[in-house]
Amino acid sequence: MILVTGGSGLVGSHLLFELCSRGQKVSALKRDASNTDMVRRLFNWYDPEKGEELFAGIRWVEGDLNDIVSLQEAMSGIRYVYHCAAMVSFMPEDRQVMMKANVEGTANLVNIALLNDVEKFCHCSSVAAIGSPYRGNEVTESLVWKTSKKNSWYAISKYGAEREVWRASEEGLPVVIVNPSVVIGPGDPARSSAQLYQSVKNGMKFYTTGVTGFVDARDVAAAMAKLVESGIVNKRFILNSENLSYKELFSLFAYYSESRPPRFRAGRLMTEVAWRMEKVRSFMTGQKPLLSKETARNSNIRRYFSNEKIKNAIDIEFRPVSEAARNTSLFFKKYPVYLSPDFRMPS
């Protein structure tokens, strides 16, 4: 039996489909308030004939990464664990909650995995946990993390989670870590990369000058499954298809959604002004800011990620980002309810 955490999220839902399509028996950990409707639609999207049957085979288990009792119950009889659950936020007010969820939650999970003699633990981390290279250098798995004021709190939380996984590996838990770049695919449009798609479709006017890596959610799921099935242990792998500018990604989203692409360049100066104005607006209205200092500054950073290590380790060919953008667009054309301005999936 396999346990997947974060099964209602972007990576987790694609991983569930990948594993169920392989005939695996899967349990998925979800919080009481989590909605699995998007997962069911995703299964029907990728397999119109057997999607409902495959989805019905998932054993949903209610629990929380910071609830030890629920984790112990969820881990009973489990051979393999895929840890995809994580909180993503770049807002200062979310830092404590995010550190508790991502770092302490991961520590709880690996501790119980050790107690239950789990055969292999696959941790879905992020390229954010690798750190920043010297300017112009390509990011590889050998990069050493450096403490810096430039590190986002999300990056710090994911780095802390990785440390817990490596600690567990020293205590005898066979692990493998994947570090995806920005994952593209159908998901909750109020979070993850689907939020970028919705913004472009709704007529976003500005693009930033940053460059980063992007990868199809289906490829992340396939790579994780192959790594767990392999004899590879105690290694980490960057999962990245292409390095593109945000302008290039937004143009792809605009093309496939038949929208007008962003036309105005927002450089460092403009984004520095923008996040400060958002902070003032948030203070005066009580509404959550649409832009934070961390997201504004990250949006103009140029980072390039290597995928050589994973391509040498397993048989994988990454889909082009254009295919990921097309897949996302076609999904939301079939299920436009998710792009309604009033729609918000509970999480």
Beta strands in 36-96 (DSSP E): 59-62, 80-83
pLDDT of the residue at 344: 41
CA nearest to 203, candidates 129, 161, 245, 264: 264
Residue 342 scores a pLDDT above 50? no
Give me the chain's average pLDDT, please. Answer: 86
Where residue 251 falls among pLDDT bands split at 50, 70, 90?
very high
Which pLDDT tens digit goes with each residue over 57-69?
999 998 889 889 9
Residue 204 scores a pLDDT above 50? yes
- In the chain, DSSP finds a helix count (H) and a strand count (E) of 14, 12
pLDDT of the residue at 119: 96
Where residue 284 falls among pLDDT bands split at 50, 70, 90?
low
Residue 293 scores a pLDDT above 70? no
Architecture of domain 2-184+215-241+304-321: 3-Layer(aba) Sandwich (3.40)
CA quadruple 214, 217, 220, 226: dihedral sign: negative
pLDDT of the residue at 347: 34
Q: Give yes or no for a contact between 184 and 216, defined as CB atoms under 8 angstroms apart.
A: yes
Arithmetic mean of pLDDT, 138-163: 88
Residue 20 scores a pLDDT above 80? yes
pLDDT of the residue at 190: 72
SS3 157: helix
Arithmetic mean of pLDDT, 51-60: 94
Residue 315 scores a pLDDT above 80? yes
Q: Give yes or no for a contact between 165 and 110, defined as CB atoms under 8 angstroms apart.
A: yes
Arithmetic mean of pLDDT, 284-290: 60
Q: Give yes or no for a contact between 54 and 79, defined as CB atoms under 8 angstroms apart.
A: no
Which pLDDT tens digit goes with each residue over 112-145?
999 999 999 999 999 999 977 766 678 999 888 8
Distance CA(189)–CA(299), nearest Å, equals 19
Residue 82 scores a pLDDT above 90? yes
Which sequence spans correspond to the domains of the chain?
A: 2-184+215-241+304-321
CA quadruple 181, 186, 191, 194: dihedral sign: positive
pLDDT of the residue at 292: 61
Distance CA(331)–CA(343), nearest Å, equals 16
Arithmetic mean of pLDDT, 259-276: 72
Residue 264 scores a pLDDT above 90? no
pLDDT of the residue at 279: 56
